[in-house]
Structure 1
């Protein structure tokens, strides 16, 4: 299922956070949003999972304007892992993961055999099966992040929206999580701060600066030394990864004028 963002604009408190943002996320691809802090990346994601209503533009899923879909329908089609995702009550890990099935169930309908199998498979896939009976408030930040990602996956979405999914994860789990995203067969829109991880994990990148899309394309097309200096304010040497050929950035500070 493809995702299309068309001419999106967001104004909050008299400030323009997004201006005329248009971006295509083809079916089955992983597209990353990168840019400096405050460039509008998280704001764009909030419009996709309907936490924020834009003042202009449209978000389409498979051609359907999401603003016209019933909330339950859009929740079945789009799953989100947000930066501020948290669990305030001490549910067990398996209880939190099971919440991902809520859009597919009615009222207090109990999980069936298929739902329980989906939850178990998602926990094993993310390496948290052994934590199933643990309370989430007893977990480390990285463990909790993987629980929330498992909850999003058991939702069986057509589109997965992720805001900094590698937050709190060590290097091993960062690589594992992003590798699994590439192999999941889902349409994924993800915000990442680490440009080297973004280059390795994403089919295409969109670069935001001050609420506008300033570049889009493959990582090799987008991550140039000139763009990194202009948008991120750092000097970088771009080299190919010795195994994959993906662009990798070696940073140095720009000279002080």
Structure 2
């Protein structure tokens, strides 16, 4: 909604195109509680998906013992890995585009080039004070913006993986070679793959794990909206083939009746 509480017309149109038949104008941790447990007007749901503030994210984690969630997806993050080949002006623009999300957004640069770090810091200072939403951007960069220099690529990758960012931009020579070692919600390669591309046009999902949760969670996807059920059917001959294996494992676990349930069929 906007400052007056009006729902964006485009959200309504998109909901109609997607066949959405229920829309509630609610937000915050209280909205998560309503979705999880229901109210007089809102029925409880089976799964809660989507990003939110740090309060929304914590609320999702708290209710996850009672209702399924997709992942912890809190305040947005971008981490940029860059070497001396990167354009400091583009990096500064990318960090600012992230910082305008809100004062709790994270925008960081890790680089092997001291010169690049100095240039990015200088350009950031200039741009942050002169662009739209400058007050919010400046506060975000002051609180959660950072630039770190590393001695080599190995150190840069290790530090990045500890952070496990939501969005990871890699602007280095041979950027593709680094991807096999990197951990992130989404990896964007090269100078022409900024985060706004993935936000609006690349087709990749924009709901991503934050707060280091990319180490154990993946982006939102179609599987999050489905249930997967395994179906097993075995013949007597097939069961005979694994009969001895089951016996060994059952007795190792001291569950002899597990094996007897197999043996009884012969």
Common fold by TM > 0.5: no
Q: Which structure has more RCO (C-alpha within 8 Å, separation ≥ 6)? A: 1
The answer to which structure has the higher strand fraction is 1
TM-score under structure 2 normalisation? 0.23
The answer to which structure has the higher helix fraction is 2
TM-score under structure 1 normalisation? 0.24
Between structure 1 and structure 2, the one with the greater Rg is 2
